[in-house]
Amino acid sequence: MLRRRIIPCLDVSGGRVVKGVEFVNLRDCGEPVDAALRYAEQGADEICWLNITAGDEAWHELLAQVEDAGTRIDVPLTVGGGVSDEPHVRDLLGAGADKVSINSAALDRPDLVAECAERHGSQCIVVAIDARTRPDGVWEAVASGGRRPTGRDAVAWAVEAVERGAGELLVTSMDQDGTQSGYAIDLYARLLDAVDVPIIASGGASGPADIADVLEAGVSAALAASIFHDAISTVEEVKDACRARNLPMR
């Protein structure tokens, strides 16, 4: 039986793991390759590495670090952040990423998703969507790390991204991100109805029970950062909580 996945997320800036609340107030949480190895050792099913620094220099540093992490860990590695064209995807896969996530660039130019999926296969193209609720209750996709509203309904964008070849969706609720108030279950329920690719839920985990809740709602994987970086829970403790709810875990 296909297992649900627990994915520690490393937000990496200036070569260091950082974590903020609602994408601001970043603080240092250590060295990313060490963190990736530590989480893999704890039983992480996958590692997500999000580069949050712009610029060519940061990109080269990212590739070097991904190369290092990719040859040392023995679980899958998903890398994203600042991926703006197909050569970026090629670079990251060549460096050792197993999947690449595309966010703002896909919103700006949805054809990019098709170009990357045709060349590299849907199984390695993840479209990352940051969503925030508007006062009218609609989940809106926001770009550029949450700074740029797009006016697009996040669920409609998810459907289009899948039609264009996205093999997986990594959806972060910005209402919840870093607040440790639980995942946005209603958003994931809508997405699960709308698309037939795996969905990774992100944003809001305060502990193992929140992760078990969102996996019970039907998502394929749950991503979390703070609870792992702050040693609130280990990956194994999260998995035990999920097993206690009869969720299939590795």
Partner 1 sequence: MPDVLIVDYGGGNVRSLTAALERCGARVAVSADPGAVAGAERLMVAGQGAAGAAMAALESAGLADALRDAAGRHVPILGVCVGLQVLFERSEEDDCAGLGLLHGTVHRIRGAARLPHLGWNDVEPLQEHPLTRDLPAVAYFAHSYAVTSDIPSALAITRIDDATIASMVVRGSVAGAQFHPERSAEAGRQLLTRFLAWEPA
Give catalytic residue positions. Answer: 11, 130
The residue from 2, 87, 111, 231 that contacts partner 1 (CB under 8 A) is: 2
Q: Does 93 bind partner 1 (CB under 8 A)?
A: yes
The residue from 5, 88, 132, 239 that contacts partner 1 (CB under 8 A) is: 5
Q: Does 76 bind partner 1 (CB under 8 A)?
A: yes
Kindly state the DSSP code that residue 3 receives in the 8-state scheme: P
Nearer to partner 1, 77 or 143 (CB): 77
The residue from 8, 32, 70, 81 that contacts partner 1 (CB under 8 A) is: 70
Kindly state the DSSP code that residue 66 receives in the 8-state scheme: H
Write out the binding residues for partner 1, residues 213-242 only, by CB under 8 A: 220-221
178: left (phi over 0), alpha (psi -120 to 50) or beta: left
Residue 130 to residues 23, 152, 188: CA-CA distances in angstroms?
11, 11, 12
State the Cα–Cα distance between residues 179 and 198, nearest whole angstrom: 25
Q: Does 198 bind partner 1 (CB under 8 A)?
A: yes
Q: Does 120 bind partner 1 (CB under 8 A)?
A: yes
State the Cα–Cα distance between residues 83 and 44, nearest whole angstrom: 24
CA 153 to centroid of chain Cα atoms: 19
Rule CB under 8 A: which residues touch partner 1? 1-5, 40, 45-46, 67, 70-72, 74-77, 93-96, 98-99, 118-124, 167-168, 196-198, 220-221, 250
